[in-house]
A and B are shown apart, each in its own frame.
Chain A
Amino acid sequence: MESMYSLAFFNGLIWVSLVGLLVVFGFQVWFTLVDYKNNKKAKGE
């Protein structure tokens, strides 16, 4: 039984990954907004 993944590890991995998905989504939205603003600025110049 010693070489089994523990319940705590499994729970931790899944919850960290779920939170990670939210962080990924936040990054994507943020990057898209920044990119949009930069492109707009570049066109203005």
Chain B
Amino acid sequence: MNTFGLYMIVFSIILMLGISILGYLFSKRKMKNNDSYFTAGRNITVSFMTATFIAYAVGTGLVFSPAESAYLDGMTAMIGYALALSIAYLIFIPISRRIKELLPEGNTIGEYVKARYGNVMFIVVLFVIIVYLFCLLVANLIGAGIAFQYLGGMPIYVGVLIIGIPVMIYTTYGGLGAAIFTNSIQAILLTPLLFVVAFFAFRNLGGTGAVYEGVVENAPELMNIFHGPGVEFAIMIIIAVASAELLNQALWQRVYSAKNVQVVKRGLINASIMTFPMAIIAGVFGLIAISMAMDLPHTSIGTALVAHTVLPEWGSMLFVLIIVLATTSTGSDALAAFSSTASLDIVKSLKPNMDSKVAVKVARISTIIFAIAAMLVAFQAPSILQILLFADLVAAAAVVPVIAGLYHKRISGKLATGGTIFGLILGVPLYLMGQYLNSFIVAILISSLIIFIGARFTKTGYNFDQLKETIKNLD
């Protein structure tokens, strides 16, 4: 371990302690009943909603992946990534209105699927959600791990544990309330930090023009608007992010936790505008790495290594703190979402009369197990982008059947289950063969064809009023 690594550990621990204490105090003050643990009291306002949607996007997905895509596939891929985040939030606006209208007292996606489609589809969707949340948490922990490994010269598990353990503790105690509160702090700190690091990086490299010239000299194809892999990636990432966000328990939880529909709408519009410049700035670090002809030891580490190379030590340390904040933010979201899924969906379906206090206890225990498993996988450090894309693909197979069930009366549980399973069976092998764009197209197309063609031959329709009757508050 080098001296910088020692400072990384000290500053990160101080930051994590501060976040954990504030999250703990906030949860203690705000947690009035057990429903609050899962939906933050259903009184979140526009400011918190915007901040939490921004912070949700600003995890490792934003700090590492746009730069990785720019480094591998060029500027079109980078712009595609930024657009994907914004478009996903815009598409979620009408759906969030429908969710709030049909499920005003909802807690999870799983309980909706169970009420709407029955037990088999419920199990399939639970599998999809858990795989997604697990990949998300692992990706965030890897982000922290590789930053500590390549900048601080220490084994990957040090970074994983420094982030993983405090996040596990405060999210386990405070649930969604703690995650949302810490998100709002993180979002406010992340924006100026990202600005400072990018500004100084450009200044030290001789301006934006010098970076542009460097890329054109070292890899001109990456500046080509119609560079094949870049265009393919841009289309794929828009489909991938949009599908994943529509089926994201963390976003559904925010809809449930909002004061009203207007709060969700304004929060989503604000976040869709605000995440775009953040993704562009995060992504441009990949192009900077190309312009400097850097040979990256891990494709996901481009952003952090560029910051470490072009900035003075204090600037590089600031960037490490960005990574710590980003990974903490999205990691705690994934954990909070898992805790509600585990307790309210899995355990409650096995024990329907479970007391709400026991539900919270089960949520806490399962969150700890989930976090430990994610840390163990993160020690292996695969590519962050690959992990996130796999999570998105799994979500893509289920997204149309789940969302269409909010609108279309004649989609039955059998059709939804069949559509999702066939989408997975045909999409996953393509992904494993490296045909990423095709895997997403096939997963979505097959699941959609099955449910919509099948619905034409279904005579009975679902009564949406049943959803309100079935899904109630916890307390």
Contact = CB atoms under 8 A, between A and B. Distances in A.
Interface residues of A, number: 27
Contacts of B278: 17, 20-21, 24
Interface in A6-44: 7, 10-11, 13-25, 27-29, 31-32, 34-35, 38
Contacts of A11: 208-209, 212
B436 to A, nearest CB: 23
Interface in B37-81: 45-48, 50-51, 54, 75, 79
Interface residues of B, number: 38
B188 A38 contact: no
A18 B277 contact: yes
B191 A13 contact: no
Contacts of B47: 31-32, 34-35
Contacts of B187: 28
A20 to B, nearest CB: 3
Nearest to B187: A28
A32 B54 CA distance: 14
A20 B226 contact: no
Interface stretch (B159-167, B217-225, B360-368): B217-225
A16 B277 contact: yes
A29 B188 contact: yes
B172 interface: no
Given A21-B191, A25-B188, A28-B191, A15 B277 contact: no
A7 B212 contact: yes
B209 A3 contact: no
Contact of B274 (A3, A15, A27, A38): A27
A24 B48 contact: no
B195 interface: yes
A19 B191 CA distance: 11
B194 interface: yes
Contact of A28 (B45, B51, B212, B223): B51
B44 to A, nearest CB: 10
A3 B350 CA distance: 58
Q: Which of A7, A21, A27 has the most CB of B within 10 A?
A: A21
B208 A14 contact: yes
B212 A10 contact: yes
B280 A17 contact: yes
Contacts of A25: 188, 191-192, 195
Contacts of B79: 13
Contact of B224 (A4, A18, A20, A29): A4
A5 B208 contact: no
Contacts of B202: 14
A13 B280 CA distance: 8
A31 B195 contact: no
A28 B161 CA distance: 30
B277 A17 contact: yes
B259 to A, nearest CB: 11
Contacts of B192: 21, 25
Contacts of B284: 14, 17
Nearest to B213: A7
A29 to B, nearest CB: 7
A19 B187 CA distance: 17
B110 to A, nearest CB: 31
B281 interface: yes
B149 interface: no
A29 B274 CA distance: 13
A4 B220 CA distance: 8
A5 B211 CA distance: 13
B276 interface: yes
Contacts of A23: 274, 277
Nearest to B277: A20
Given A4-B216, A27-B274, 7 more contacts: A4-B220, A4-B224, A4-B225, A5-B223, A17-B284, A25-B192, A38-B45
By Cβ-Cβ distance, the 10 closest A-B pairs, closest first, are A20-B277, A31-B47, A35-B47, A17-B277, A17-B280, A25-B191, A24-B274, A21-B195, A10-B212, A14-B208
